[in-house]
Structures are given as C-alpha cells and as structure tokens.
Structure 1
C-alpha cells in the first residue's frame, strides 16, 4: 500500500500541527481548470487532497458540492476523466496524498476490479465511499485494501462505542470524523463537542483523525486543528469556485486564485492553532 498518507500525517505531526485536507470536485467548473486547481493546491498549503468523483445523486452532500458535481457532469466529466486528472496530477507531484471521494454506483458500473486497478495505477492513495457501510466491506473495502488503496471510513456523532469497532475494523489511512449530523456544509460545528469526540476516537484507534463538515473559515480550521490530526475543508472551497465564475458558469482568470487564496488562509489557521496552544 502507498505510504503517502501515513508519511504526510507523520510529517505534520513532527511539525506539531494538524494536516489541512482539501476537497475539490473533479471537473468543476471544467476539466482543464480543475487540473489547474488540483496542481495548485499543495503549493497553497494543502497537505492531503480529496478529489470528488461527480455523481448524479450525491445524498450526503450539501447544496454547494451538489452544484459542483452538476457543473462537472454538465461539462462532460466522467469517472475515466477523473482518473485522468489523478494521472496528470501525479506527473508533477509524487508526494501529496490524493484520495478519491464519492459514491459506489459509478464504481460499480465501471467495474470494481477495473476501477481499483486504474485508480492505483493513476496514483490515487485511498478511497472514501460514503454510501457503503462496514457490513458491505466485501463489496469494495476489502478489495481496495488488497489493491493497495486505503479505505477511509467516516465516523459521525451518532457512531456510538458499540458501533465504533466495526467502523474502524478495516479503516486505513485516517479516520474522517463528520463533525455535524447531516449534509456537508450545513452548519458550524460545536468545537468543544468535536474535541471530545476526537479524544474518544483516539481511544479506539491509532490512525490519525481528521475532522470535516462545516469548516469554512481559518478560525474554524484553527479551532478544529487544536485537537484533531487533520482538518477537512470542502464546501467552502467549492463555493470559492462558484463565486469566481462568470454569468454563464464558466471559469474566469480569478477561479484558481479564489481557491488557492482560501487554502492559504486555512493553512495559516491550521498552523496558528498549535502555535497558540
């Protein structure tokens, strides 16, 4: 299995800070601009990249990421093109961990073994597939681990101590803690409650714990980073893309910078958190 994820979290731990995990949607607002954004993320301060695989029925995503997926699909983005993005990203960056995030249906249609082989060959490090519970591990999780891809599981505020061992059993890379119940980008988390939840998770696993959903500002990122191993930001970055587009929904000269400027501010927030601790 690729050790890029583990190496990056080990590096940020040595630096005494949390990792900034950034989510963008493949093909949003178009394939070429999406690749520009992807390539610019590490230089702006992203430690780990989650690349969303657009899907027509993204039930766990809020309006911002749903809209990004629709923009990408309308622009012709496909699962094959998303893997092409990973391949093109790897031509210039061999160090930054990249995780594919999405839903099982497109993977199933593509063919599980074919997808896993192509994702690994393209340079992906892991998968987050939000609609496959641990009871379905034989469908994708175990084959992914066998193919050398980390399968990153989500834990939520409703994941109790009885359920947690099953959730963590085959999880690899890191644990993604969903800080609020519901869809992405919907509300601001209660940072005290999140800190307690992260501490509870750490009693059950040695994997890094990254926290996402509802993290929109450098201040939010700093608050989460004070206790978590990673801070995940998605909807705010996708909103930055949307706000940069022209009246026809096309990329402008401001689009890439809209994302990287916010990533730089978030990265500064993450680094400030431990410095202030």
Structure 2
C-alpha cells in the first residue's frame, strides 16, 4: 500500500497546488490513499467546509488538522456530519467535537488506520498524547496492521520522541505544524517510517506561508497584525510511504517537493 501524506495546506495557493499537482503525483508514485493536513486551508488559519470539500474533491481521501482546527467555527457542524473525513487531534478533552482517529480504505478494501495527535511542548496543555497513542493503536489494530500517525507539534524533540515511542507499533509517524520540510526521512529500527516535518502545500517565498513583510513587522513591533497568505514559489510538499500490508511495517519513505507551474 502506498500512502501520500501532504503537509499543511495553506490558503488558496495550497489548495490550487493540491488540485493541480496531486493527480500527476498519484500516477507517478502509484498512490493508493492520500491524506492532507488541512488546518490552514482557509485563509492561512483554520478550515472551512468549502476548503475541506475542495481538498476532498481533489482526490484527497482524509483530512487531518491541529491546533488551528477551531479557528473557523463553521467547520464544527460540518465535521459532526463528516467525522470520518476530517480528524482533529485525538488528545483534546473528552466531549470535543469530531474525532481523532479513523480507518480509511482503498477502493479494493485495503484498510489504513489514521491517528491525529497534538503535542504539548510550547502548545496547549492537552491530554498526554504519549499515554493516549498506544490505546488508539490497539483499537485500530483490530481492523488493520497499517497505521499512520500525524504528530502535530512545535518541538522537533517531541516529534522524534513519538517516533521512538511508536516504532514497531505503527507504519508511520509524520510530523506537521512547522511548515518546513525536514531532510531526515527514514525507517526506524522497528520498521516505522518517520519524518520530523513533511512541510507544507503553499508559498515558500514567505514566512511559513504568510507574507514576509507582515511576519517581520510582527517580530519588530511585537504587535498583532492580520496575516495574509503569500503567493510566490508555491509548492506541494509531503511524503510517499510504502507499507507492507501483511506486517504493517514500512518498506520506504520518500520526500515529495513539487512546484506549482507559474509561481
């Protein structure tokens, strides 16, 4: 089974990159399932029903998210109606809208379990993702050996620690949130594919997707300003993971980095 996981989709440029570039990537890599982190797909922060549906209409099978899931309130009733199409981090307190794990499947019935977690270093004091993850893995293993974890957090140490924690227990642990693609993709000793951050689908001529001038102004003045998504050097970034369906171990992990023509 080959899974393409795409990094945080940032605003309209990210949506356009996915819509334009994804079909050729699916063909080139013989991809079976596609997952995208969509937490910045609406205007650079948050998800709307419209941005979620645009991604799903672009051959994406499942959307994950992170701390910006809650930014656009209109997504809450939508996710209640579509809990298996858009995940929020599983370690939010009990009673939070939506769900944090699910199983998706290929047209011929092969299954992939997906878990969405959020870190706590430099972020909210959520429930402990390290304590929760093995419980969710055990639940998903009743249906499939193939499991992917989206670890959405700031600290590279926390992402690496989750990889070590789940090595041999899941097929892949991929980091999201920081929007900068790292070059440390590898198969861990227990057979789990890992990368600290898959990057983003959005403009690289920016500060993690936002216009450079606005970000610099915020650092200079320490005052809040309205972020605007940049437009130049738009890339689709992610990883393709090849999973042995019998064992659930990863055979390979390959970085993807493709520029949107005309940007």
TM-score by length of 2: 0.51
What is the alpha-carbon distance in structure 1 between the residues aligned to residue 197 and residue 91 of structure 2? 22
Question: Which secondary structure does the structure 2 equivalent of 1:270 belong to?
Answer: strand
**1:141 Cα deviation (Å)?**
2.3
What is the alpha-carbon distance in structure 1 between the residues aligned to residue 52 and residue 188 of structure 2? 31
| Partner of residue 130, structure 1 | 89
What is the alpha-carbon distance in structure 2 between the residues aligned to residue 174 and residue 265 of structure 1? 14
The answer to whether the 8 A contact 2:37-2:64 is kept is: yes
Residue deviations 1:106-164 (CA, integer Å, cap 9, x gap): 5754443x4344x58xxxx6433137526236x4229x969x9x772327696455x55
Find out whether 1:251 has 2:247 as its counterpart. Answer: no
The within-5 A match list for 1:31-50 is 31-33=15-17, 35-39=19-23, 41-43=25-27, 45=29, 48-50=34-36
Determine which structure has the larger strand proportion and give its number.
2
The answer to whether the 8 A contact 2:193-2:253 is kept is: no
The answer to whether the 8 A contact 1:25-1:52 is kept is: yes
| Partner of residue 53, structure 1 | 39
The answer to whether the 8 A contact 2:90-2:116 is kept is: no
Question: Which secondary structure does the structure 2 equivalent of 1:135 belong to?
Answer: coil
What is the alpha-carbon distance in structure 2 between the residues aligned to residue 86 and residue 70 of structure 1? 11
TM-score by length of 1: 0.49
| Partner of residue 212, structure 1 | 175
Q: Which runs of 5+ in 2 are unaligned?
A: 106-112, 121-127, 214-228, 243-251, 256-263
What is the alpha-carbon distance in structure 2 between the residues aligned to residue 50 and residue 111 of structure 1? 18
Determine which structure has the larger helix proportion and give its number.
1
**1:228 Cα deviation (Å)?**
1.2
Question: Which secondary structure does the structure 2 equivalent of 1:115 belong to?
Answer: helix
**1:101 Cα deviation (Å)?**
1.9
Compared CA separation, residues 52 and 130, structure 1 to 2 (3 A): same
The answer to whether the 8 A contact 2:37-2:65 is kept is: yes
1:72 to 31, 44, 49: 44
The answer to whether the 8 A contact 1:22-1:49 is kept is: yes
Residue deviations 1:5-29 (CA, integer Å, cap 9, x gap): xxxxxx14xxxxxx55221315243
1:140 to 83, 94, 98: 98
| Partner of residue 8, structure 2 | 24
| Partner of residue 225, structure 2 | none
Find out whether 1:99 has 2:63 as its counterpart. Answer: yes
The within-5 A match list for 1:108-123 is 109-112=74-77, 114-117=78-81, 119=82
The answer to whether the 8 A contact 1:154-1:178 is kept is: yes
